[in-house]
Structure 1
Amino acid sequence: MATINSRDGKLYIDFRYRGIRCREQTRVADTPENRARLERLLLMIDGQIKKGTFNYAHHFPCSPRVAQFEKLADAERTAGISGSTKLFSSFAERWLSEKKVEWRESQIETVEGIFNVHLLPKFGALQVSEISKSQILGFRKGLHEPDILKGRKLSPSRINHIMTYLRMVLNDAAERFKYESQWKNIKAIPIPRSEVKPFSLTEIMRMLKAVREDYKPYYTVRFFTGLRTGEIDGLPWKNVDFERRVIHVHQALVRGSIGPTKNSSSYRTLMMTDSVYEAMKVQWSLTGHRSEFVFCGRNGQPLDYRNVANRVWYPLLNYLSMERRNPYQTRHTAATLWLAAGEAPEWIARQLGHSNTGMLFKVYSRYIPNLRGRDGAAFERLLEAADE
């Protein structure tokens, strides 16, 4: 869907053409009159795209996209699109439109970014059936090289993520057009195991004692529930049951939008221990009557996790002279504390939203003692001992 947005007081339009997301900056100021003018322009562009008469260079002669679309047009004329297969760009557009119904909005945005930034510029003008294995490997090699302009390089995990969608498109095209897929014996780049750096109970107590009062409930809940950032930031009061002392995790905040949880097992109900229950009661007194969200800013909107991390989390670690660790370590901390307390793996997996205990043993194996607990009581005793 085409949209009109503003950047630095100037309007720009955002639309899709040939499966590619296009953003074109204008020189006009953000006023109601100018927005109305651009809305009329977008309606005209949309009509031309549907009729097949849209000329990118006519509307945006100075855009770098002009060369990209001219290259695609030349490739189509040379290859003869009526042949046995299609251009990568054409097939990718169709493939994306079919797959979108399976994905969350945040995933759609991520995948479109991968195609627009990486895959279409490299493979868009090529016949999908003629892309060779050497071209695929060369593309991956290029992703691995540092970006001179940005001064950084993509992580192995990010490269594998990009390559996953290239593999899916190429394999699907091979199946539909009945030729042998080029994707053979191409292995993923090894990914260094992410380091689990949980906080000790002593460190947690120091942090909760030193943190700003208005964020004490927030971090208490994070440390002692293992909620993901999107889950806690998108948590509404309607999903907090004080009577049954449970939290229903039914949604998450991802890139500023409320959507479903990460997967079906993440859609869960978790228990509130005494410390979490008391923190929630304090939070109710702060935001319960002014926002639908448990944790929110002064405007009642959900917290911006980057803003919170930069203004509260990292300054707190610096103030306490603690090792710099990302906020996700609160989730690792909850898991390791439950394990140290002797809670049952099945109970911990349910609290974390894992479908089984496999991930628990894989990530936290060195923290697992002789486990016998089953209901959070052992963890509660651990907290009581820390308070004495």
Structure 2
Amino acid sequence: MSAISIGRLRGGFCVYWDGPDGKRRRYQLEARTRAAAEAEGRDRYLRETGTPEGLTISAIWTSYIDHLGAKPTATTMRHTGKAVLETFGQLRPDQITIKDCRDYLRKRIADGRKVGTVHTELGHLRSATRWAAKLRLIDQAPHIELPPKPDSDVRPMSDAQIRALIDGCGAPHIRLAVVLLLATGARVGAVLDLTWQRVDFERGVIDLRLPDGLTRKGRAVVPMNRMARAALESAYQARLTDHVVEWAGERIKSIRKGYSAALTRAKLTDVNIHQIRHSVAVRMLAGGQSIEAVAQYLGHSNTAITYKTYARFLPEHLADAAEILNFDDLRKVK
């Protein structure tokens, strides 16, 4: 938190900052380590600088982002906060009602936003207020009503589309990223985060997990298939950085432009990059893999997520059950 500083006072730690009147505020802390003092100092700052009536959503939102640090959710909340804080920013948590949440949903839908987007925005509001309640910065978190999260409308890609996409990749690093997305079913962030240290050619596995656990999204350890091994071995010989997907000796943080160019060359439209992950899951299920195996491969912590998202693409798995419901032969029974 940039507003505060941690110092030493009477053999321990203290937190201090400059108030709006220009005078320095300083408070002794109970913490006995620097890390504990940083956390306690932030809490003390929030308590001391809150309005007499309590902290506003704007203050809580900013502090929660700071608490998240380098986690991807912090970056996302800087974007979702633009809309959320416009409506809720000046309110205290205890002032928020279910009607406010429903009014917000209607307003955002009227503005052309999808229900899924609003679900994410209000979900961030819920997370921030629950965090504040957990730290006892507020008495209790308000009930934030979320709209039902819609089923994904992303369709799996056909084999012809996948082949065209691979062939449409111009730059080597774009092709490598797409091949890894297809071979692992990972999210694009996991592929771009992948380092050579987590690629084990001897065991034939790719560890997509981050060692510091910065992301909430599940990441798996997956076997290295023939396609992935060929691409990785070629890239390993030409490596210039610790990251697997690189270009000109620099780590790649986004393949948006390269992926878009590949779609243009492949003459594909409306093929979102996340569609690759869906295609991988559906292909595995169609090949006879169990829901449990697919869930583990995708890094899902709960197989219910896999069922909800992908089972609808495979109505044929209920074919035997459907046969039981043939009632047209009942007239033959005497």
Give TM-score, length-normalised by structure 1.
0.59
Change (3 A) 1:239 1:341: same
Task: State how far apart, in whole Å, the 2-side matches of 1:356 and 1:182 are.
Answer: 27
Task: State how far apart, in whole Å, the 1-side matches of 2:101 and 2:154 are.
Answer: 33
Corresponding residue for residue 56 of structure 2 = 88
Q: Give the SS at the match of 1:205.
A: helix
Matches within 5 A, 1:328-339: 328-339=274-285
Task: State how far apart, in whole Å, the 2-side matches of 1:209 and 1:140 are.
Answer: 42
CA RMSD of aligned residues (A): 3.8
- Cα shift readout 1:86-145 (whole Å, capped 9, x = no counterpart): 2525xx525753675467532123334444x23444444445544555555444433333
Which among 240, 255, 265 is matched to residue 316 of structure 1? Answer: 265
Task: State how far apart, in whole Å, the 2-side matches of 1:306 and 1:232 are.
Answer: 13
Which among 260, 263, 267 is matched to residue 214 of structure 2? Answer: 260
**AA in 2 matched with 1:193:** D
Shift of 1:213: 6.4
Unaligned runs of 5+ in 1: 3-15, 18-47, 56-79, 147-152, 253-257, 372-388
Corresponding residue for residue 66 of structure 1 = none
Task: State how far apart, in whole Å, the 2-side matches of 1:122 and 1:356 are.
Answer: 34
Matches within 5 A, 1:110-121: 110-115=76-81, 117-121=82-86
Change (3 A) 1:242 1:192: same
Corresponding residue for residue 68 of structure 1 = none
Corresponding residue for residue 72 of structure 1 = none
Task: State how far apart, in whole Å, the 2-side matches of 1:220 and 1:120 are.
Answer: 40
Task: State how far apart, in whole Å, the 2-side matches of 1:353 and 1:247 are.
Answer: 13
1:203 aligns with 2:175: no
Identity of aligned residues (%): 22
- Cα shift readout 1:15-72 (whole Å, capped 9, x = no counterpart): x79xxxxxxxxxxxxxxxxxxxxxxxxxxxxxx96233269xxxxxxxxxxxxxxxxx
Change (3 A) 1:169 1:340: closer
Tell whether the 8 Å contact from 1:314 to 1:324 is kept in structure 2 after alignment: no
Which among 20, 25, 46 is matched to residue 52 of structure 1? Answer: 20
1:109 aligns with 2:75: yes
1:278 aligns with 2:230: yes
Unaligned runs of 5+ in 2: 5-15, 24-49, 319-334
**AA in 1 matched with 2:106:** K
1:292 aligns with 2:250: no
Corresponding residue for residue 306 of structure 2 = 360
Tell whether the 8 Å contact from 1:231 to 1:261 is kept in structure 2 after alignment: no
Tell whether the 8 Å contact from 2:196 to 2:244 is kept in structure 1 after alignment: yes
Shift of 1:233: 1.1
Corresponding residue for residue 350 of structure 1 = 296
Change (3 A) 1:127 1:333: closer
**AA in 2 matched with 1:297:** W
Shift of 1:187: 4.4
**AA in 1 matched with 2:170:** R
Tell whether the 8 Å contact from 1:197 to 1:332 is kept in structure 2 after alignment: yes
Task: State how far apart, in whole Å, the 1-side matches of 2:96 and 2:201 are.
Answer: 58
Task: State how far apart, in whole Å, the 1-side matches of 2:243 and 2:59 are.
Answer: 37
**Greater RCO, 1 or 2 (C-alpha within 8 Å, sep 6+):** 2
Corresponding residue for residue 76 of structure 1 = none
Corresponding residue for residue 70 of structure 1 = none
Change (3 A) 1:223 1:188: same
Corresponding residue for residue 208 of structure 2 = 249
Task: State how far apart, in whole Å, the 1-side matches of 2:312 and 2:102 are.
Answer: 37
Matches within 5 A, 1:114-133: 114-115=80-81, 117-126=82-91, 128-131=93-96
1:142 aligns with 2:101: no
Tell whether the 8 Å contact from 2:194 to 2:208 is kept in structure 1 after alignment: yes
Q: Give the SS at the match of 2:146.
A: coil
Change (3 A) 1:197 1:317: farther
**AA in 1 matched with 2:291:** P
Corresponding residue for residue 9 of structure 2 = none
Which among 251, 258, 268 is matched to residue 301 of structure 1? Answer: 251
1:227 aligns with 2:186: yes
**AA in 1 matched with 2:208:** V
Change (3 A) 1:314 1:199: same
Q: Give the SS at the match of 2:297.
A: helix
Shift of 1:270: 0.5
Shift of 1:225: 1.5
Task: State how far apart, in whole Å, the 1-side matches of 2:77 and 2:253 are.
Answer: 25
1:188 aligns with 2:146: yes
Aligned residues: 278
Task: State how far apart, in whole Å, the 2-side matches of 1:285 and 1:213 are.
Answer: 17
1:218 aligns with 2:218: no
Task: State how far apart, in whole Å, the 2-side matches of 1:114 and 1:206 are.
Answer: 35
